[in-house]
């Protein structure tokens, strides 16, 4: 092969690489833009529809922590607790907690990336999952007790266990009696799922065929698959029941914010009625 042919082949390879990179870039950013539109204009209750942005509402996210350095997170990320390592630092070493936080509370006034459902909600990250995404029921119980002591409004549990643990059930009952709305994910594989199956917990599953939140057979269904924040300061497409749970928590934050503004009393049953908008 002469030098001229080698140069032509090399040039074609370079062009192919550059075109591939450009297509990948535009594809990723197109998805981000779609999520911004999805967050603010879809049929899901979201920013603006209730005339609020989740202000005066506290959500505790019991998960793997949060990446505080992400540009989408500002002063609405409050101090929580790491129950795995028994310390104050709640930095995310796994990534799942940062996914959940972005769906609920990514900022909408920073001219980048995505918009969370309730960007003025106060987020309290409580670490109960380790760097491998595993956790202990005892840490969850301690986290829920922390929520009661710190008067949070919503507890987001984007995980589940197949074990019906007596102590876990009792602490959740106490939290609900204090007026806390507990929202939990069902297992993605249709296994037994606690605490989602406990009485007065809003248990959530995904529904790929809807852009609405609705309740059927006492299970809350929400859309599946959104772009959210990742550990590296960028964005990732995430899906599953845990992601649907975050969507519900964000919308419940808007509902509670509106109830507080209107001086209306609410409980889990009235919240479920307001959520259930599917005709």
Domain layout of the chain by residue ranges: 3-275
Read off the pLDDT of each residue in 107-130 and give the average, rounded to a whole number.
Answer: 92
Look over the chain and give the mean of its residue pLDDT values, rounded to a whole number.
85
Tens digits of residue pLDDT in 190-228:
789 999 999 999 999 999 888 889 999 999 999 988 999
Q: Residue 48, by phi and psi: left (phi above 0), alpha (psi -120 to 50) or beta?
A: left
What's the pLDDT at 210? 84
C-alpha pair distances (Å), 94 with each of 58, 123, 226, 279 = 23, 18, 19, 39
Report which DSSP code applies to 49.
T
* Low-confidence winner among 18-32, 77-91, 141-155 (lowest mean pLDDT): 18-32
**With the CA atoms of 226, 232, 234 and 238 taken in that order, what torsion angle do they form, in degrees rounded to the nearest 10?**
-10
Model confidence band, residue 51 (pLDDT cutoffs 50, 70, 90): low
Instruction: Enter the pTM of the model.
Output: 0.83
Residues carrying an active site annotation:
63, 96, 242
pLDDT at 21 over 60: no
CA distance 105 to 90: 17
Share of the chain above pLDDT 70, in %: 81
Model confidence band, residue 112 (pLDDT cutoffs 50, 70, 90): confident
Model confidence band, residue 276 (pLDDT cutoffs 50, 70, 90): confident
Give me 221's structure tokens.
Answer: 């269904």
pLDDT at 22 over 50: no
CATH of 3-275, one of 3.40.50.200, 3.10.310.30, 4.10.320.10, 3.40.50.150: 3.40.50.200
Tens digits of residue pLDDT in 141-198:
999 999 999 999 999 999 999 999 999 999 999 999 999 999 999 998 878 999 999 9
């Amino acid at each position: 092969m002469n030098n001229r042919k080698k140069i032509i082949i090399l040039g074609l390879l370079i062009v192919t690489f550059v075109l591939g990179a450009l297509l990948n870039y535009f594809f990723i950013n197109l998805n981000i833009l779609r999520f911004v539109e999805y967050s603010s204009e879809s049929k899901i209750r979201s920013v603006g529809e209730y005339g609020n942005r989740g202000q005066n509402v506290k959500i505790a996210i019991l998960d793997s922590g949060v990446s505080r350095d992400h540009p989408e997170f500002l002063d609405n990320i409050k101090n929580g607790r790491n129950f795995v390592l028994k310390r104050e630092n709640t930095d995310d070493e796994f990534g799942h907690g940062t996914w959940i936080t972005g769906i609920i509370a990514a900022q909408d006034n920073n001219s980048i990336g995505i918009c969370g459902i309730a960007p003025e909600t106060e987020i309290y990250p409580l670490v109960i999952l380790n760097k491998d995404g595993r956790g202990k029921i005892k840490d969850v119980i301690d986290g829920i007790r922390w929520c009661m002591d710190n008067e949070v409004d919503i507890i987001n549990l984007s995980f589940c266990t197949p074990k019906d643990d007596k102590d876990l059930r009792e602490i959740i009952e106490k939290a609900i009696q204090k007026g806390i709305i507990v929202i939990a994910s069902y297992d993605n594989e249709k296994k037994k799922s606690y605490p989602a199956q406990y009485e007065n917990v809003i248990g959530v599953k995904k529904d790929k065929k809807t852009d609405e939140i609705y309740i059927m057979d006492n299970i809350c269904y929400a859309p599946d698959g959104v772009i959210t924040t990742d550990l590296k300061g960028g964005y990732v497409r995430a899906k599953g029941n845990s992601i649907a749970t975050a969507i519900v928590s964000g919308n419940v934050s808007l509902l509670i914010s509106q109830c507080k503004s209107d001086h209306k009393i609410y409980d889990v049953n009235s919240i479920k009625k307001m959520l259930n908008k599917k005709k």
